[in-house]
Amino acid sequence: MSYTMNVLEEVKQKNQGEPEFIQAATEILTTLQAYVDARPEYEEAGILERIVEPERSIIFRVPWVDDSGKIRTNRGYRVQFNSAIGPYKGGIRFHPSVSLSIMKFLGFEQVFKNSLTGLAMGGGKGGSDFDPKGKSDREIMAFCQSYMNELYRHIGANIDVPAGDIGVAGREVGFMYGQYKRLTSSFEGVFTGKGIVYGGSYARTEATGFGLAYLADEMLRQNGKSIEGKTVLVSGAGNVAIYAVQKVQQLGGKVVAMSDSNGFIYDSEGIDLDAIKDIKEVRRARIYEYLNYRPNAVYTEGRGIWGIPCDIAMPCATQNELLEPDAELLIKNGCFAVCEGANMPTTLEATELLQKNNILFAPGKAANAGGVSTSGLEMSQNSMRTSWTFDEVDQKLKGIMVTIFNNIAAAAKDAGAEGNYVVGANIAGFKKVAEAMMLQGAV
């Protein structure tokens, strides 16, 4: 068996009960196989054995008091996966499904994604099985403060810089940042996604969704197509989905459907984004309320968004939300591009099927890298004690996304897999991290 496949077998043996992590490792190692096995120096330096093992996984108790006075307990995590090219960097997720497996898959993906941005950021991820849905602002604050009461000793502007993810946005980052500052007396760039008035960057809120649309646009352009006039599906209705829809609409695309974990809406006239923002960002309500704003739209309970005919599909909700039967429907209905806004939203089988049918496929670790890229820009602004305008940040973001696309396209071509951007992204992301690890010795 080849070196790469041996390591993958070992990953499967050692991490039983961690399906998401095994899935991410399988995707990455399988696509790296030809590249790594042709270069014995990686095996000599034990690069793969090291790269699949987090440098550190921290698991801790998070007790907090709910509004009825009852003490509740959740489990907190921070996986510091790889610091070869910079301080650990990656979001924090609050969702009942959070487990060590999900933290490790996200942290592992983040290592390669952050490398692709060209900025000096290592990879990490954190979170908790805390469910923010239906909690009061006070309960959210109590939880965030308690989570930080442990996390603060493991992070720092040059050590580990968390950000938002599912269930964590401006409000939660503010509460966690405030508690960090209180515990350490240090006002530093220890978080990204901060409020503008205390060190946040313009365009960070929009960055992941905008970046996704920029990368999709570039991929389509270089393949003789464009977003203009196309019908687009965007799953999810959170931070990534909302700003993906905004930019797709600005680029002339027509988004006809969005979803949340209860169901999806279809609006043949095109999604009214102001309505979605009001429902999701202001009122934190369910997506079926869209019908109160646009009575002609249709709401369907449950999953099924990928059955709507479209040209372009953008999964922006969560992992494993686009399955093989969904891919079959997309192909049957004439979809020609899938661009991942979420992390690992498409299963391995679905990805393979889409690629076999020549669907342009932009993998999340490249396509959603606009968020962490702009986080990198936020860190730069904090270090320089300066603030760039929205347009300055947006222009830099656009430049980064075009560069990422060119790099993954070139890496795919060099590997003899032209047009396979999964292979391209994994090789391009891996090369820099592996080289840094080799230069730093057995660490």
Using rule CB under 6 A, residue 307 touches ligand NDP: no
CA distances from 137 to 224, 366, 397 (A): 48, 34, 32
x/- contact string, 238-277, with ligand NDP (CB under 6 A)? Answer: xxxx------------------xxx---------------
- Hey, which residues between 357 and 416 contact ligand NDP (CB under 6 A)? 368, 371
Residue with smaller CB distance to ligand NDP, 241 or 362: 241
Helices 100-116 + 421-439 axis angle, to 10: 90
Using rule CB under 6 A, residue 341 touches ligand NDP: yes
Neighbour-count burial of 213, counting CB atoms closer than 10 A to its CB (0-12 exposed, 13-18 middle, 19+ buried): buried
Residue with smaller CB distance to ligand NDP, 92 or 433: 92
Q: Which candidate in 89, 113, 125, 247 is catalytic?
A: 125
Candidate residues 85, 100, 176, 237; the one interacting with ligand NDP per rule CB under 6 A = 237
Q: How far apart are CA 258 and CA 300, in angstroms?
A: 11
Residue with smaller CB distance to ligand NDP, 105 or 430: 105
Residue with smaller CB distance to ligand NDP, 343 or 420: 343
Place of tokens 């898959």: 105
Q: What angle do CA 317, 174, 191 make, to 5 degrees?
A: 75
Least Å distance, CB 233 to ligand NDP, is 14
Nearest residue relative to ligand NDP (C-beta): 238
Three-state SS annotation for 268-300 = CCCCCHHHHHHHHHHCCCCHHHHHHHCCCCEEE
Least Å distance, CB 166 to ligand NDP, is 4
Using rule CB under 6 A, residue 208 touches ligand NDP: yes
Single-letter amino acid code for the residue at 10:
E
Stretch that binds ligand NDP, among 36-44, 179-187, 230-238, 421-429 (CB under 6 A): 230-238
Q: How far apart are CA 128 and CA 392, in angstroms?
A: 34
Least Å distance, CB 205 to ligand NDP, is 9
Stretch that binds ligand NDP, among 159-167, 265-273, 305-313, 350-358 (CB under 6 A): 159-167
The DSSP output letter for 346 is: B
Least Å distance, CB 164 to ligand NDP, is 5
Residue with smaller CB distance to ligand NDP, 54 or 238: 238
Stretch that binds ligand NDP, among 40-48, 236-244, 376-384, 391-399 (CB under 6 A): 236-244
Using rule CB under 6 A, residue 320 touches ligand NDP: no
Q: Is there a contact between 86 and 114 (Cβ–Cβ < 8 Å)? A: yes
Helix ranges (DSSP H) in 251-384: 273-277, 290-293, 324-332, 348-356, 364-367, 370-384
Question: Is 125 a known active-site residue?
Answer: yes
Candidate residues 18, 165, 217, 267; the one interacting with ligand NDP per rule CB under 6 A = 165
Using rule CB under 6 A, residue 121 touches ligand NDP: no
Using rule CB under 6 A, residue 86 touches ligand NDP: no
Using rule CB under 6 A, residue 317 touches ligand NDP: yes
Tokens of 117: 């941005």
Neighbour-count burial of 442, counting CB atoms closer than 10 A to its CB (0-12 exposed, 13-18 middle, 19+ buried): exposed
Give the closest residue to 26 by CA, choosing from 8, 38, 4, 13.
Answer: 8
Least Å distance, CB 102 to ligand NDP, is 10
Residue with smaller CB distance to ligand NDP, 54 or 341: 341
| Binding residue count for ligand NDP, defined by CB under 6 A | 22
CA distances from 19 to 14, 340, 413 (A): 12, 20, 31
Candidate residues 54, 122, 162, 164; the one interacting with ligand NDP per rule CB under 6 A = 164
Least Å distance, CB 151 to ligand NDP, is 18
Least Å distance, CB 395 to ligand NDP, is 19
Give the closest residue to 240 by CA, choosing from 163, 176, 299.
Answer: 163
Residue with smaller CB distance to ligand NDP, 162 or 371: 371
Place of tokens 């049957």: 332
Least Å distance, CB 267 to ligand NDP, is 16
Give the closest residue to 361 by CA, choosing from 426, 305, 302, 296.
Answer: 426
Q: How far apart are CA 280 and CA 283, in angstroms?
A: 6
Single-letter amino acid code for the residue at 6:
N
Candidate residues 122, 124, 126, 167; the one interacting with ligand NDP per rule CB under 6 A = 167
Residue count of the chain: 443
Binding site for ligand NDP (CB under 6 A): 164-167, 208, 236-241, 260-262, 316-318, 341-343, 368, 371
Catalytic residues: 125
